Amino acid sequence: MYDPRVMPDRSRRAGAAMRWLVSMAVVIGAAAAERATAQTPRSQRVTPVVRVFEQCSPAVVNLSTTRVVTVRQPRGLDLLFEDIFDMPRPRQRQFKTHSVGSGFLIHEDGYLVTNAHVIEQAAEISVTLADGTELPAEEVARDRQNDLAILKVDAPQPLPHLKLGRSDDLMPGETVIAIGNPLGYQHTVTSGIVSALDRELRFSPDLAYSGLIQTDASINPGNSGGPLLNVHGELIGVNTAIRGDAQNIGFAIPVDELHELLPTMLDIERIRRVDFGIHFDGAGGSAAQAGVRVGRVDARSPAAGADIKEGDRVVSVNGVRTDDFIDAFGALNRARPGDTVSIEVVRDGARKTARVAFEALPAADAPVMLGRYFGLSAREFRRLELRRLGIERPVGLIIERVEPESEAARAGVSQGDIVTLFGGWPVTSMSSLGQLIEQVSSGDGIPFQLLREQAGHWTRFELVLRAQ
């Protein structure tokens, strides 16, 4: 029976119950959400890309350069480089430092790899490590034909470095990761797949890069020289170029090409100025064949006298295991001229240890040989000249005199020109020139790269001079 005095009270109790239920539902929902979040911790969200970035990014560096030159090659080669690589074109008469690319460490002693075109217009090179440390870099070797360069920084402690993988077994569709400094944004990671293999980029009838890896991992200006990695964090390529008229079409130099070039670019005899005699193959060892293969042994060298032979596999140097060339180079680089190095090799399944002298070579008389072969007299930079240019390190050797009837004079070489590359190798001192010029024989055609100051700006040009 309806009772108007009772119903309002019941309604109030029902409303209170409903509000309590709603509040409990909110509490329960929040608790459930909290439990759901707790059930997917950060560690469970780690993907292969995250793992590779955490593992490898400390070995990736930012490169910046002080540019003091304006480059204009006769056949428009640099214009092609700028278009393909999407490089910023330097303005004349400007002296400034800005980010130009990426690189990565390959050895704890501070050796790193980048693209040759990244440092092509550089007078000084600065490297910024992942922790923000900025260090000056010295150019060790440059191979323009393969667009690779090796730099060296000096650090007070061993540096993190990447493991070099292989590229002969890459699969289209395989996941890849790129780390670099696109547009100056340091340590940016992108991922994608191998889009295709064995691509070619042609810049001129005489210059083409072949066998490139094509990837859709985002690569932008500033990524050049950075690593392309597989899901295990192994280096499989060096990012080198983009198609500016396309999206997500980038190219990388296969790491196997780097393997092949490293023994020449990091020639221990040239770097340490010693007579040693062992020349390595670049390919690393395998489960079946450990160590790094000896590709050639110089006759009448310390290695030949110690019975090291072509085809031997060096498995340790001074007790340090050598799985690939970088391991062997690092161990040899710590030896001093005059030391005797312990080399353990495997030959026909048997192990043997040889002691090879690291014989110091006498300094070559670079000024005399430069005059004899090319009719040129040169000297090193003076401190006041470096200050005038606003740079801290020499960029080459200054030509003081050109013999009037020499080939150099006929080619237009002038007093005041600066030799920056000799035979494709950087020369910043008479010592570095001496290591190269003593290998020259009469009749050899040697490429020179020079800088010339004209109307307040610098022009870079190249020529080939034949040794007399």
Per-residue DSSP letter, 181: -
DSSP reduced 3-state for 247: coil
DSSP reduced 3-state for 278: strand
Per-residue DSSP letter, 116: G
Q: Which of the following is catalytic: 78, 102, 147, 316?
A: 147
Known catalytic residue at 109: no
> Which helix (H) or strand (E) is 315 found in, with range?
strand 313-317
Q: Which of the following is catalytic: 64, 126, 224, 316?
A: 224
Q: Which of the following is catalytic: 78, 99, 102, 117?
A: 117
Cα-Cα-Cα-Cα torsion 404, 406, 411, 412, nearest 10 degrees, comes to -20
DSSP reduced 3-state for 141: strand
**How far is Cα 98 from Cα 280, in angstroms, rounded to an integer?**
37
**How far is Cα 360 from Cα 338, in angstroms, rounded to an integer?**
6
Known catalytic residue at 224: yes
Q: What angle do CA 356, 291, 267 make, to 5 degrees?
A: 55
Known catalytic residue at 147: yes
**C-alpha distances in angstroms, 288 versus 75, 167, 345?**
49, 19, 15
DSSP reduced 3-state for 127: strand
Residue type (1 letter), 388: R
Active-site residue list: 117, 147, 224
